[in-house]
Amino acid sequence: MQFAKRLHDRFRKELSRFSVEGTVVTASIGVTTMLPEDRSYEDTLKRADRALYEAKSMGKDRIVSA
């Protein structure tokens, strides 16, 4: 989560340069960890992807951990 927060802050700073006439560019991030019950890396990526789309559905420009 700490890395995701630093990355998100950096994205926010850099993407603000592309904001034009009320249009703001944002970034959402989904975060997870590998769990013992994951059968493959794809299980981990699917969980992160679900967290990403949850972040977007909550209003974008946020970090969600799964």
Residue range of the domain that includes 12: 2-65
Rounded to whole angstroms, the Cα distance separating 18 from 53 reads 23
Whats the size of the chain, residue-wise?
66
- Check pLDDT > 90 for residue 60: no
Rounded to whole angstroms, the Cα distance separating 17 from 30 reads 23
Q: What is the pLDDT of residue 52?
A: 96
Q: What is the pTM of this model?
A: 0.82
Q: What is the pLDDT of residue 46?
A: 97
Residues 7-55: tens digit of each pLDDT:
999 999 998 888 888 888 889 999 999 999 999 999 999 999 999 999 9
